[in-house]
Amino acid sequence: MGPRILILARGHLGSHMSAPGIRATAQARVLAEHVPGARVTLAGPNEDYEQPADGAYRVTRWSARNLLQLTAAHDVVISSMLPPHIAIFYPWKRYVVDLFSQYAMEWMEVGMQHYKGRHRDAWAERTRAVLGMQLTLADFILTCNERQRDSYIGMMTSLGLISPRVYEADPTLRRYIDSAPHGIRPEPPVPGKRVLRGVRPGFGENDRIILWNGGIIQWYDPATLIEALRLLNRDDVKLLFLGASYPGIRELGKGVRFQDAKAIAARNGQLNRTIFFEEGWVSHEEAKQYVLEADISVCTYFDNMETRYSHRTRFVDLIWGELPFICTHGDVLAEEVAQEGWGLVV
């Protein structure tokens, strides 16, 4: 029999997934298909999930009540944020920490919106301690790109986790930490039913559609794009912001940046005329139809450390759907966009 693998998703599973749930689900599928004899369990925090039609892996709900029981029944645990007490109760299990964002920099950005003064200092210290604990507990660490990997190697070094013995066993350190980018959808990009032109109010049959593929978080810059459309002043060019409240992630979505974007569009007379906001969260399955119907996608963001280390998961569907897009420079995928000719980097 192969290994019993438990994947603890921190985000919602099922139809309305954001990046954490999508990545965890893809991991379950890939491990079930490619690890001989593997018995894979995918666990999420929500109750409204579905079992895969082919039964390749099992889906369940994790909670504080059943977490130890789930851990006891598996050999390997994979999570983007490992609950530390399970490693205390079961130190002989193998733990993989999937750090697919540079959380130290991401949380700095989140903290600016939610915390001030001494509370922000305390938040920063807490996040530093949490990351240090994750790196210390992990038997193996995943990142999304080589920049993230380099940054976490620096943190591991400062924590004393890279000893001479560790280094001598593998001078590349890939035995301990490696990168695994987000993959694209396995199915081919085949257009289905229309979701915008002639269907959604405000979108005409001949309109040109710009898609903002995802939510609006602290580090994004929708204001520049909105101003560009004001200067363009074309009634047949429509912009849709696809996503607002992130499912299951309290700190993200419908924050200051989202509200400011709506206010700017309203002040310019663009709101619900040439600029539209999806107030909820479009399902993972339906989102691909927006990508396939749009003419172009745009994503603008600020020049900061979150950008430098990020791996913009919203770009992955654009690459899958062969949708040209415009993005800001500074991150890993922006460099690939320029190199591969997938779009324009500004």
Query: What pLDDT does 245 receive?
Result: 66
37 and 145, same domain (yes or no): yes
85 and 139, same domain (yes or no): yes
Question: Which ranges of 115-185 does DSSP label H, i.e. alpha helix?
Answer: 117-137, 146-158, 164-169
175 and 247, same domain (yes or no): no
The verdict on residue 197 lying in a domain is no
Question: Is the separation of the CB atoms in 162 and 153 below 8 Å?
Answer: yes
175 and 61, same domain (yes or no): yes
219 and 306, same domain (yes or no): yes
pLDDT digits (tens, 9 = 90+) for 139-162: 999 999 999 999 999 999 999 999
The verdict on residue 184 lying in a domain is no
Residue numbers of the domain that contains 120: 4-179
The verdict on residue 201 lying in a domain is no
Query: What pLDDT does 110 receive?
Result: 83
Alpha-carbon separation of residue 279 from 15, 37, 81, 239 (angstroms): 17, 43, 28, 14
Query: What pLDDT does 251 receive?
Result: 57
The verdict on residue 186 lying in a domain is no
147 and 222, same domain (yes or no): no
The verdict on residue 190 lying in a domain is no
Alpha-carbon separation of residue 297 from 17, 121, 194, 289 (angstroms): 20, 37, 17, 13
Domain C-terminal end among 140, 158, 179: 179
What CATH number does residue 223 fall under? 3.40.50.2000
The verdict on residue 159 lying in a domain is yes
Which stretches of the chain drop beneath a pLDDT of 50? none
Query: What pLDDT does 113 receive?
Result: 76
Alpha-carbon separation of residue 92 from 77, 137, 178 (angstroms): 11, 11, 22
171 and 213, same domain (yes or no): no
What CATH number does residue 173 fall under? 3.40.50
The verdict on residue 203 lying in a domain is no
Alpha-carbon separation of residue 323 from 163, 256, 288, 290, 337 (angstroms): 46, 29, 11, 11, 12
The verdict on residue 194 lying in a domain is no
Query: What pLDDT does 286 receive?
Result: 92
pLDDT digits (tens, 9 = 90+) for 11-56: 889 888 888 899 999 999 999 999 999 999 999 998 888 898 899 9
Which of 188, 54, 202, 82 lies closest to 142, judged by CA? 82
Q: d(Cα 315, Cα 288) in Å, to the nearest integer?
A: 12
244 and 307, same domain (yes or no): yes
Cα 209 → chain centroid: 24
19 and 135, same domain (yes or no): yes
The burial class, CB within 10 Å (0-12 / 13-18 / 19+), for 190 is exposed
175 and 212, same domain (yes or no): no
Q: d(Cα 85, Cα 67) in Å, to the nearest integer?
A: 10
216 and 259, same domain (yes or no): yes
82 and 231, same domain (yes or no): no
Classify residue 173 by its DSSP letter.
Answer: -
Considering its fold, how many domains does the chain have in total? 2
